[in-house]
Amino acid sequence: MNSNMDGRHDLELVLQSRTPVIVIESQDEQRMLDLLQSITIARASQTYTPLFRWTITDGLQRVDIALEPQAINAAPTDVLKHIRAVSKPGLYVLLDFHPFLEDPVHVRLLKDICIRAKDVNRQIVLISHSIKIPQELESFCARFDMALPSEQDRSNIVKKAAKDYMRDNPGARVQVDRKAHELLIQNLAGLTWADTERLARNAIYMDGAITRSDLPDVMQAKYELLNRGGALQFEYDTAQFNDVGGLSRLKSWLQQRRPVFRGDDSASHLDVPKGILLLGVQGCGKSLAAKATAGIFGVPLLRLDFGTIYDKYHGETERKLRESLKTADVMSPCVLWIDEIEKGIAGRGGETGTTQRVLGSFLTWMAERQKKVFVVATANDISELPPELVRKGRFDEIFFVDLPNDEVRASILAIHLANRDQALNNFDLESLTAATTGFSGAEVEQAIVSSLYAAHAQGEPLGTDHILSEITQTRPLSVVMAERISAMRDWASGRTVPCD
């Protein structure tokens, strides 16, 4: 039985149902104990139920009144035998009992307790970060999910943290930037009560203020709390990607949709953009386009690495994907970049069953997601992509990133020279642009990098001749893989939108 419930009232209803075992997966252990204690105190006027807490370190301890722990009942087998033998009502909270649920003796003892629960009002509450219930016990269990703090709850938590700061620093007042305050409350969404309180406190206690400078640290800490599987990479400061060479048509398309994605009230009647698929030649800027998308939208960038998701154990791959997508939902608004998506959802030899389940989970998430997560999927080989992914409606648009034209190559040359502190008026950009015909952006950059090494070895400042020398020694991908690139262009013509 799964209960998607929230708050003290709903937990009280589960307790009143007399279900023998209540399962609570939560990191907020102390909050759940406080909640259970407040419920038992409130029910004292009706039928008083003693509250016990067990840990492997302290044993069994009654907590509704101050009594010492019973070290004699510290062993898991001993505490279960004790609970089974007791003939009086009691609520027994077992903390971090999950490793002991694999022992057949413990399963049988728990089943005995459950079967006799109708005669004696004994309930067991299992609290841990993750709990897998054996099949023999499923019918005796109810799961309770504690709701995460609402927007009003988060506002109250921030307010309390500010009051605590002023109490700890007499005479001080918390300086508040109104917009930063709103964004802080928004960015704390999706965290547990304890984590929300800690991050809010850290943001205020750092400098006694709530300002825009607090937000990157809050988002970084939030990402680290959520991304325990390590399949996502996170980048908060994406503004620097806003100004990249080329991609003029893609940039214009994104700029039109930015107000809607950012929640502009004047565009509330328009559908929120879902995502784009970027196809193209290797090294021509698909990765940069994904980063530029986050920069234009002004939101964090999450990169999903399919290579870290695939696991040899049955079901683990799908679980990691669900957790990664859930993290993206909680980190919204954000851009989710899936690089070389064909490697993650195309056929993987003997793993085709897993691959199909991964694809199904991903497509379901894309169809049903409510959060503002803009997907940018990049691919080098359209033939490897399943048709159900590229059909109309999955993505808002499919863009093709071709080899850069003269204007874009000139821009790329200027950007990479400027990034390496080279004065542009020292170079013949027109000659360099002509010489790099057929070069990808990555190949243009590499020519500059190699020529810098060559100039340094010769003890000379970098000049046009050094770069031209490197260019003439390079066989670009457009030459080495001419047939494949030609086929890709033919497929993209009429099916995709050029980025430039």
Tell me: pLDDT of 359 over 90.
no
pLDDT at 139: 92
Both structure tokens of 51: 């509250």
Mean pLDDT on 266-277: 83
Residue 486, domain member (yes or no): no
Mean pLDDT, the chain, rounded, equals 84
Q: What pLDDT is recorded for position 43?
A: 59
Mean pLDDT of 180-184: 87
- 244 and 366 assigned to the same domain: yes
Q: Report pTM.
A: 0.66
**pLDDT reading at 450 higher than 90:** yes
User: Once rounded to an integer, what is the mean pLDDT over residues 386-413?
Assistant: 85
Name the band, by pLDDT with cuts 50, 70 and 90, for residue 2. Answer: very low
**Residue 184 pLDDT more than 70?**
yes
pLDDT bin (cut points 50, 70, 90) of residue 457 is: very high
Comparing CA positions, the residue from 17, 16, 52 lying closest to residue 124 is: 52
Pair 156, 130 in one domain = no
> For the residues 444-456, what does the mean pLDDT come to?
92
Q: Is the separation of the CB atoms in 316 and 330 below 8 Å?
A: no
Confidence tier at 240 by pLDDT (50, 70, 90): low
CB atoms within 10 A of CB 243: 11
* pLDDT value of position 69: 82
Lowest pLDDT segment from 84-88, 189-193, 195-199, 460-464: 189-193
d(CA 65, CA 484): 76
State residue 242's pLDDT score.
Answer: 61
Residue 348 has pLDDT above 50, yes or no: no
pLDDT in tens, 62-119: 988 878 888 788 999 999 999 999 988 899 999 999 999 999 999 999 999 999 888 8
Q: What is the DSSP letter of 101?
A: G
330 phi and psi angles, rounded to 5 deg:
-70, -30
Residue ranges of the alpha helices (H) in 188-285?
A: 193-207, 214-226, 248-261
Out of 129, 144, 159, a domain closes at 144
261 plus 382 within the same structural domain: yes
Q: Is the predicted pLDDT of residue 5 greater than 50, yes or no?
A: no
Q: What is the pLDDT of residues 42-52, one digit of tens each?
A: 655 556 789 99
* Beta-carbon contacts of residue 305 (< 8 Å; ≥ 6 apart): 231, 232, 233, 339
Buried b (16+ CB within 10 A) or exposed e, 265-275: eebeeeebbbb
Domain match, 21 and 124 both = yes
Q: Are residues 395 and 426 in the same domain?
A: no
In this predicted structure, which of 152-166, 262-276, 369-383, 443-457 has the lowest mean pLDDT? 262-276
Q: What share of the chain is helix, strand, coil (3-state, %, to 5)?
A: 55, 15, 30
Residue 448 has pLDDT above 50, yes or no: yes
CA pair distance 126, 478, nearest whole angstrom: 61
Q: Does residue 491 form part of some domain?
A: no
Contact between residue 447 and residue 440 where contact means Cβ atoms under 8 Å apart:
no
Same domain membership, residue 217 and residue 259: no
Calpha distance 179→64 (Å, rounded): 44
Both 246 and 351 in one domain: the answer is yes
Do 57 and 121 fall within a single domain?
A: yes
Residue 487 lies in a domain: no
- DSSP for 105-148, please give it: HHHHHHHHHHHGGGTS-EEEEEEES-----GGGGGGEEEE-PPP
Last residue of a domain, one of 144, 162, 195: 144
Q: State residue 42's pLDDT score.
A: 61
Residue 39 within a domain: yes
Please report whether residue 332 resides in a domain.
Answer: yes
Task: For residue 322, give its domain range.
Answer: 239-400
Residues 128, 175: one domain?
no
Task: Write down the pLDDT at residue 230.
Answer: 62
Indicate whether 193 belongs to any domain: yes
Nearest CA-CA partner of 67 in 46, 83, 86, 53:
53
Token pair 């642009």 in the structure block, residue: 433
Residue with tokens 């457009």: 478
Please identify, among 93, 109, 144, the residue that sits at the C-terminal boundary of a domain. Answer: 144
- Same domain membership, residue 200 and residue 69: no
What is the mean pLDDT of the segment spanning 442-468? 92
* 333 prior amide bond cis, ω within 30: yes
Per-residue confidence (pLDDT) for residue 245, from 0 to 100: 66
Mean pLDDT check: name the lowest of 30-39, 95-104, 459-468, 486-495: 486-495
User: What's the structural domain count of the chain?
Assistant: 4
Distances (CA, A) of 354 to 18, 307, 326, 350, 378: 40, 13, 19, 9, 21
Using pLDDT thresholds of 50, 70 and 90, give the confidence band for residue 229: low
pLDDT over 50 (residue 9):
yes
Structure tokens at 80: 């279960």
**Higher confidence at residue 120 or residue 267?**
120
Residues 334 and 464 in one domain: no
Q: Is residue 187 part of a domain?
A: yes
Tell me phi and psi for residue 69, to 5 degrees.
-65, 150
In 13-34, which positions are buried (b, 16+ CB within 10 angstroms) versus exposed (e)?
A: ebbeeebbbbbbbbbbbeebbe
- Residue 420: give its domain's CATH number: 1.10.8
Pick the more confident residue, 337 or 9.
337
pLDDT reading at 141 higher than 60: yes
In a domain? residue 492: no
pLDDT of residue 110: 95
Q: What is the CATH number of the domain that holds 352?
A: 3.40.50.300
Q: What percent of the chain has pLDDT over 70?
A: 91
pLDDT on residue 312? 58
Q: Which residue has the higher pLDDT, 111 or 25?
A: 111
How far is Cα 187 from Cα 218, in angstroms, rounded to an integer? 8
Whether 131 and 28 share a structural domain: yes
